């Protein structure tokens, strides 16, 4: 599918979608405490999205059974919220998307439960900083590869690794549109970024090996070596100047 350029009106709708995602992500982040069960996050999303009149994009996507992905410790992405209670020291990635007036916004955060190790704290901060470096590289005239190059060079200099098998993506009327947005690779790779492109940039960073494996549930993606992983994601629009971050409160 060719890359879809969005109008200013469409980007304004996506900004509203993004505000709902960001606000509900904040509610989820405040709800994560030791003893709270993963599934309770799905219940909160159902209630908040219904109240706001937005649709949970993930629910039913290729059969995905929940409104939100909850990926704990060595889980990288696409964890299905289950019956496990959060425990002090957990590293919890929460990925959320909504559809509003036909347009999707997609965002993810990673938080620690209670006290976490300094190295886990550093993993989270490096992943968030990598996302912002990727966002700053998303300027008209650059190639898509500039984003991944900014992310990978920073993450590897910090001694962590970047997941290769899962990538960011264009976003619009569909959650996954062209182009793919890898978190690695050379800056001169891929299509040229143009004003009106909307991208979900989403670095997944592992403390150890970058390789992944999938659980028998066919969704949950984990690190092969059991090392911790973090994930941050924003939906952004390419403009004449600084990228516009759509998934902020
Ligand atoms: N942010 C994730 C992605 O872009 C959300 C998809 S999860 C799914 O792949 F469950 F909906 F597949
Ligand atoms: Co995404």
pLDDT at 1: 83
Confidence of residue 87 (pLDDT cuts 50, 70, 90): very high
φ/ψ of 139, rounded to 5, equals -115, 145
Q: How far apart are CA 22 and CA 16, in angstroms?
A: 10
What are the residues whose beta carbons fall under 8 Å from the beta carbon of 82, sequence distance 6 or more? 37, 38, 39
Place of tokens 């490096």: 126
Q: Is 132 in the pocket of ligand 1 (CB under 6 A)?
A: no
- Report how many helices (DSSP H) and strands (DSSP E) the chain contains, helices first: 4, 15
Ligand 1, atom nearest to 202 Cα: 1
Mean pLDDT of 70-76: 99
The model's pLDDT over 178-203, given as tens digits with 9 standing for 90+, comes to: 999 999 999 999 999 999 999 999 99
The pLDDT, as a whole number, for residue 94 is 99
Please give the helix or strand (H or E) that residue 230 lies within, else none.
Answer: strand 229-231
- Considering the chain, what is the average pLDDT of its residues? 98
Place of tokens 């709270």: 36
| pLDDT, tens only, 114-155 | 999 999 999 999 999 999 999 999 999 999 999 999 999 999
Q: For residue 68, what are its two tokens?
A: 């939100």
Contacts of 225 (CB under 8 A, 6+ apart): 206, 208, 209, 211
Residue with tokens 């559809």: 99
Residue nearest to atom 2 of ligand 1 (CA): 95
Ligand 1 pocket, mutate which of 21, 22, 61 (most atoms under 8 A from CB): 61
Helix-, strand-, coil-residue percentages of the chain, each rounded to 5:
30, 25, 45
Six-digit token string for 189: 């790779």
- The answer to whether the CB of 78 is under 6 A from ligand 1 is yes
What does the DSSP assignment read for 52-121?
HT-EESSTTGGG--SSEEEEETTEEE-PPP-SPBP-TT-EEEEEEEEEETTEEEEEEEEEE-SS--HHHH
- pTM of the predicted structure, to 2 decimals: 0.98
Q: How far is the CA of 58 from the centre of ligand 1 (A)?
A: 6
């Amino acid at each position: 599918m060719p890359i879809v350029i969005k109008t200013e009106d469409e980007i304004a709708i996506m900004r509203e979608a993004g505000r709902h995602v960001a606000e509900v992500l904040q509610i989820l982040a405040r709800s994560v405490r030791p003893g709270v069960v993963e599934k309770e996050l799905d219940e909160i999303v159902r209630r908040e999205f219904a109240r706001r009149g937005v649709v949970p994009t993930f629910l039913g996507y290729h059969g995905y059974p929940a409104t939100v992905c909850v990926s704990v410790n060595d889980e990288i992405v696409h964890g299905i919220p289950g019956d496990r209670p959060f425990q002090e020291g957990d590293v919890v990635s929460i990925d959320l998307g909504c559809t509003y007036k036909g347009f999707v916004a997609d965002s993810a955060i990673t938080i620690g439960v209670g006290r976490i190790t300094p190295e886990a704290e550093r993993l989270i901060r490096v992943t968030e900083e990598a996302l912002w470096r990727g966002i700053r590289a998303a300027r008209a005239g650059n190639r898509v590869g500039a984003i991944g190059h900014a992310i990978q060079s920073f993450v590897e200099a910090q001694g962590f690794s970047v997941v290769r098998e899962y990538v960011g993506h264009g976003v619009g009327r569909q959650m996954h549109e062209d182009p793919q947005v890898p978190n690695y690779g050379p800056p001169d790779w891929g299509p040229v970024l143009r004003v009106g492109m909307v991208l979900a940039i989403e670095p997944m960073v592992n403390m150890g090996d970058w390789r992944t494996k999938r659980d028998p549930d066919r969704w949950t993606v984990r690190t092969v070596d059991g090392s911790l992983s973090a994930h941050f994601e924003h939906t952004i629009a390419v403009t004449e100047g600084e990228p516009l971050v759509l998934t902020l409160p």
